[in-house]
Structure 1
């Protein structure tokens, strides 16, 4: 399994393309520039099997419509945020001047709970990690030592909690009870900025002091 980070949109949200030797692929968080994602897939002869959303804020879902207009693939999101894809007030796109309203009216597949999830030939361990948003999800690939965590945990920081449904105490509990239990060498493929590791954040993240 190979992972390619593709920053997308005005906020440079990290989208992650995961693909294997069969040329199958899944894409985490196409935040914008869906046409760019489709072009990359075609140029590299990759077969997209699923779009997976760690959460449904506008800067993580803005490219879904453009991808789905070209490729008939399922879109997965936590059931608590299904309506967020259709509602700019919930996904936040109506809150920021200059940001186009983001709405996706297509059919989506909903996720809930924890445990093994399969998308085509890809298998992940799914964790519910709310706090940044009520339906935030993290997806762990043990063999590759990587967790796709959205906006839960950053290098030296944590996700913001001032948007609808955010709660810092809940977020810190999610990080402590779910992510920090992963092996220290686990790469945190997060939504913005550079990747980090679980071990590095245990040692130096100021928001996690006392946990």
Structure 2
């Protein structure tokens, strides 16, 4: 089950629950704001969230992490480059938006890792490194369900912003063409700030 929850902090952002229907265990991806709203939903649904997964370290994707982690006692997973953003309120953009959000003590992951539920090891996501929007950007891909949680790397109809600290247009284009567009065309792409789309639709927009 995929459950999309738009949350509002400084910006609107889409966070996602990826839940195993059989065990009701799952992952929470990019909880950007409204921790109490997300915790209430978890309680109301009877879900057991095993891990918080971050596609990158910008504050609009991490603003509710500390409160939710403290409430549930669960690990936060981010790319090995993530401290560059999570520990620096300039790099993660929170300082420029009137606040200071930092995240300490995350567990690191890297390209090619498999993140599986303890309750059901067959329920899993593959980590794919997609730098360009940030140097720590990753996507989480389910081959079984043909879905990818892509953060801000690509949106419906456009690519991510590469003009923030650490961004790079060439790296972003390479990530999209070489990593995302090599997934099956029917793969659903779920981003942080747009409606869902698919690999096939976005490949056509690129003329590929």
The gaps in structure 1 that reach 5 residues or longer are none
| Kept after mapping to 1: 8 A contact 2:39/2:68 | yes
Q: For 1:117-128, what aligned pairs fall within 5 Å after superposition?
A: 117-120=115-118, 121=120, 122-128=123-129
Name the SS for the 2:174 alignment partner.
Answer: helix
* Farther off after superposition, 79-88 or 35-44: 79-88
Deviation at 1:144, TM superposition (A): 0.8
Deviation at 1:67, TM superposition (A): 0.3
Deviation at 1:82, TM superposition (A): 2.1
* Farther off after superposition, 78-87 or 123-132: 78-87
Tell me which residue corresponds to 2:156. 155
Instruction: Please give the alpha-carbon distance, in whole angstroms, between the structure 1 residues aligned to 2:85 and 2:113.
Output: 24
Tell me which residue corresponds to 1:17. 17
Deviation at 1:188, TM superposition (A): 0.1
Deviation at 1:83, TM superposition (A): 4.2
Tell me which residue corresponds to 2:91. 90
The CA RMSD measured in Å over matched residues stands at: 1.3
Instruction: Please give the alpha-carbon distance, in whole angstroms, between the structure 1 residues aligned to 2:168 and 2:84.
Output: 20
Deviation at 1:119, TM superposition (A): 4.2
Deviation at 1:115, TM superposition (A): 4.1
Matched, 1:62 2:63: yes
| Kept after mapping to 2: 8 A contact 1:31/1:64 | yes
Deviation at 1:77, TM superposition (A): 0.6
Q: What TM-score, normalized to structure 1?
A: 0.92
| Kept after mapping to 2: 8 A contact 1:82/1:110 | no
Tell me which residue corresponds to 1:146. 147
Deviation beyond 6 Å, 4+ runs, structure 1: none
| Kept after mapping to 1: 8 A contact 2:25/2:117 | no
Q: For 1:56-205, what aligned pairs fall within 5 Å after superposition?
A: 56-96=57-97, 99-105=98-104, 107-120=105-118, 121=120, 122-204=123-205
Deviation at 1:100, TM superposition (A): 2.5
Instruction: Please give the alpha-carbon distance, in whole angstroms, between the structure 1 residues aligned to 2:117 and 2:135.
Output: 23
Instruction: Please give the alpha-carbon distance, in whole angstroms, between the structure 2 residues aligned to 1:19 and 1:36.
Output: 17
Deviation at 1:86, TM superposition (A): 2.4
Deviation at 1:42, TM superposition (A): 0.3
| Kept after mapping to 1: 8 A contact 2:114/2:127 | yes
Q: What TM-score, normalized to structure 2?
A: 0.93
